[in-house]
Amino acid sequence: MKKSKIILSMGLFVFLVTPLFAEETLQLNDTQPQLVLADAGTASDNSLNVNDLGFTQADLQSDLSQKDLDTRSDMLHIHQILGLTTEVSLLAEFVVGITTANNVENGSTDTSLVSTLGYTTLALYAATASFEMFAPKPKNKKQTGNTGIHVALSWIHLPLMILVPLTGDMLDDRIANNQPLGNLGTVHGVLATALLVTYTSSLLVITF
């Protein structure tokens, strides 16, 4: 009975004394140097340092420098503005093209407005494309998401942007020389419609 009392007393002693030691631990910890959270150059035995996390240079190094990223962003911003301007020009060209086609059917030979607008659109398109082509880009990086669709659509509207003015120029020549137009007017119209649709789509898929 005495032994059990001793054990019981010891147990009680441990139970009561433990919080005191816990308190002491708390005090010891508080007096330790505080963790320098954002200073990568500081390390103590018990501190946490971002350098200890095992990131390699490859994990952290960007494919483009900050300067290149800024240049790219600026160039793509101009690409966006020019792209929207090209869209307006393209829409105007499309409407004027339909009107001119009706006028030509009624005997008119004046195609100067549609020609001028066509060359303006072509020049704007070339400028828009150049700001994307010459913008710094990361090497071997696959373009994903809407950007991927935007780029894929460019492979359709780029040749169309060459073919539409070409067929338009051929039509101009035939109209000016009073030659039969054949199916060229229809071909030009179909190509111009495809150009407008693909170009507008490539514009709509892009967000920020």
Residues near other proteins (CB under 8 A) are 1, 3-5, 7-8, 10-12, 14-15, 18, 22, 25-26, 28-30, 32, 35, 37-38, 45-50, 52-55, 59-62, 64-66, 68-70, 72-73, 76, 138, 141-148, 150, 206-208
Identity of the residue, 25 or 179, whose beta carbon is nearer to other proteins in the bound complex: 25
What are the distances in angstroms from CA 56 to CA 48, 65, 147? 17, 17, 29
Helices 112-133/66-105 angle, 10° precision: 160
Supply angle C-alpha 178, 115, 111, rounded to 5: 40
| Minimum separation from the CB atom of position 202 to other proteins (A) | 13
| Minimum separation from the CB atom of position 116 to other proteins (A) | 29
| Minimum separation from the CB atom of position 200 to other proteins (A) | 15
Q: Quick check: 109 and 78 in contact, CB under 8 A? A: no
Identity of the residue, 75 or 98, whose beta carbon is nearer to other proteins in the bound complex: 75
Identity of the residue, 45 or 182, whose beta carbon is nearer to other proteins in the bound complex: 45
Identity of the residue, 12 or 95, whose beta carbon is nearer to other proteins in the bound complex: 12
Identity of the residue, 26 or 176, whose beta carbon is nearer to other proteins in the bound complex: 26
Identify residue 118 by its one-letter amino acid code: G
| Minimum separation from the CB atom of position 95 to other proteins (A) | 23
| Minimum separation from the CB atom of position 2 to other proteins (A) | 10
How far apart (Å, rounded) are the C-alpha atoms in residues 51 and 35? Answer: 14
Identify residue 14 by its one-letter amino acid code: V
| Minimum separation from the CB atom of position 51 to other proteins (A) | 10
How far apart (Å, rounded) are the C-alpha atoms in residues 188 and 111? Answer: 14
Identity of the residue, 77 or 102, whose beta carbon is nearer to other proteins in the bound complex: 77
Q: Quick check: 51 and 43 in contact, CB under 8 A? A: yes
Q: Which two tokens stand for residue 54?
A: 């095992």
Identify residue 137 by its one-letter amino acid code: K
Question: Which sign, positive or negative, has the C-alpha torsion 130, 136, 139, 143?
Answer: negative
